[in-house]
């Protein structure tokens, strides 16, 4: 692990640089597959599923029989754990519902705003070395609460042409309307253009590898929205001597095991803690099943010592972490002043994995510094705000003159006429 002491602010950008890769070659591949799926539909999807996943899938859609079989294979303990997580996620996201906002801006001018669901939602759920059934909960639960009428889920099949049973169980539990055995670029392309089997959607959610990330960004060029730009998972912990080194190390490793390009950072005002955490990381990593993956991520990790909390906060806000853990004596200082973070975890007994699974908050979060300008997925991610207005005779008289003056100043005579005609009609009625 790389220990850095009192880095100067002008070096922060280099020290905190993300392990992102060039997308030039990836983009060419993605565009080629998009073009083929757009023109050849399911045929192209099947071709690339065979090429990338090494399996031929006769029927892309998961049948009810397959879902029932998968449910039967899930242990009682896992079902109960998933149900608990679903309940907490529902409670937290249901609390985010807002009522219609009605304002009379001036006598006779009534304006209001309402939230309406995005009708067709696409969910991408990775199914490789870590099948993320928890992400099904994080995306399908708020989609259902928002009232989305179509929830389409795509996940890559295994070598036997099946989707992980826990993914199918979570999808069934959360009311997903269609499940498809398709992953990677071809899944995003299928949901972007629509095929005979894969419905076209209005917005695509979910994490994925660098190919999926670029594919989602390309989808926006074809009128499909996405949840957010995304990159490798990341975690930053700020800690002092009040933190438990073993806990800090376990959190760093929980993110490091996501992938070799995951980034984990510890910022501390204690050199003793940094040394203790480094030893704990090496000790705990030895027994991890995903040690090889974690090892590569940890090799690029940073342990940064700074003199005080003020400097630490400035560095953290500059970085804008996806996940931010606070384990300090003065936790209120960080809670009150953090400006850029996807999700914040406070205290020695709040592991980041709680947010990944069962506390209730959403784990689909902005990475790569996008926490500076993007929110994590929430209930509003599945809705759009619509404004309404109704103006009475008195109302158009109250604002009509202002509209006429402004429209004329902009040189838009027809805009002015639309008001003038109405005002004259009211004058004639007197």
Return the beta strands (E) in 283-382 as ranges.
302-305, 323-327, 343-346
| DSSP structural state of residue 411 | T
In 3D, which of 327, 330, 291 has the Cα closest to residue 310?
Answer: 330
- Torsion angle, CA of 220/222/225/230, rounded to 10 degrees? -30
Task: Could you list the residues known to form a binding site, using ranges.
Answer: 124, 186, 209, 233, 255, 258, 323, 356, 410, 415
Catalytic residues: 322-323
Contact 277, 303 (CB under 8 A): yes
Token couple for 136: 């099904």
Which class for 104: exposed (0-12), middle (13-18), buried (19 or more C-beta within 10 A)?
exposed
Contact 377, 142 (CB under 8 A): yes
For 258: left if phi > 0, alpha if psi spans -120 to 50, otherwise beta; the answer is: alpha
Cβ contacts of 425 within 8 Å, gap of 6 or more: none
Task: Could you list the residues known to form a binding site for NAD(+), using ranges.
Answer: 124, 186, 209
Token couple for 366: 């902005």
Task: Could you list the residues known to form a binding site for substrate, using ranges.
Answer: 233, 255, 258, 323, 356, 410, 415
Return the beta strands (E) in 297-351 as ranges.
302-305, 323-327, 343-346
Task: Could you list the residues known to form a binding site for Zn(2+), using ranges.
Answer: 255, 258, 356, 415
- Torsion angle, CA of 169/173/177/183, rounded to 10 degrees? -40
A 10 A CB-CB count for 425 gives: 11
CA 298, CA 2: separation in Å to the nearest integer? 9
Q: How far is CA 2 from CA 15, 243, 251, 304, in A?
A: 10, 20, 17, 8
């Amino acid at each position: 692990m790389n220990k850095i002491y009192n880095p100067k602010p002008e070096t922060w950008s280099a020290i905190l640089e993300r392990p992102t890769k060039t997308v030039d070659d990836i983009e060419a591949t993605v565009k080629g597959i998009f073009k083929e799926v757009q023109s050849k539909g399911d045929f192209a999807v099947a071709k690339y599923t065979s090429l990338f996943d090494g399996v031929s899938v006769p029927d892309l859609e998961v049948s009810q029989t397959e879902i029932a079989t998968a449910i039967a294979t899930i242990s009682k303990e896992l079902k109960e754990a998933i149900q608990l997580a679903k309940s907490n996620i529902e409670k937290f996201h249901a609390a985010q519902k807002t009522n219609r906002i009605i304002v009379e801006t001036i006598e006779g001018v009534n304006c209001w705003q309402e939230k309406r669901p995005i009708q067709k939602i696409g969910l991408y759920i990775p199914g490789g070395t870590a099948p993320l059934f928890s992400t099904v909960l994080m995306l399908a639960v708020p989609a259902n609460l928002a009232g989305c009428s179509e929830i389409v889920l795509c996940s890559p099949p295994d070598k036997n042409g099946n989707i992980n049973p826990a993914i199918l169980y979570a999808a069934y539990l959360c009311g997903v309307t269609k499940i498809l055995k398709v992953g990677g670029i071809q899944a995003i392309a299928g949901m972007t253009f629509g095929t005979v089997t894969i419905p076209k959607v209005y917005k695509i959610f979910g994490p994925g590898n660098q190919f999926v990330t670029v594919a989602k960004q390309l989808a926006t060029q074809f009128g499909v929205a996405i949840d957010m730009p995304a990159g490798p998972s990341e975690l930053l912990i700020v800690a002092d001597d009040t933190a438990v080194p073993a806990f800090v190390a376990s959190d760093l490793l929980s993110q490091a095991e996501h992938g070799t390009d995951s980034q984990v950072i510890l910022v501390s005002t204690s050199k003793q803690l940094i040394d203790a955490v480094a030893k704990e990381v090496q000790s705990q990593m030895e027994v991890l099943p995903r040690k090889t993956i974690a090892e590569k991520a940890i090799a690029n990790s940073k342990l940064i010592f700074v003199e005080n909390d003020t400097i630490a906060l400035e560095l953290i806000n500059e970085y804008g972490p996806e996940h931010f853990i606070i384990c300090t004596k003065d936790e209120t200082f960080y809670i009150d002043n953090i400006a850029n973070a996807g999700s914040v975890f406070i205290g020695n007994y709040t592991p980041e994995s709680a947010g990944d699974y069962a506390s209730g908050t959403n784990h689909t979060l902005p990475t790569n510094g996008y926490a500076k300008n993007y929110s994590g997925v929430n209930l509003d991610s599945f809705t759009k705000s619509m404004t309404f207005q109704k103006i009475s005779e008195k109302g158009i008289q109250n604002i009509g003159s202002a509209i006429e003056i402004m429209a004329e100043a902009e040189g838009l005579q027809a805009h002015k006429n639309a008001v003038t005609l109405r005002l004259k009609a009211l004058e004639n009625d007197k």
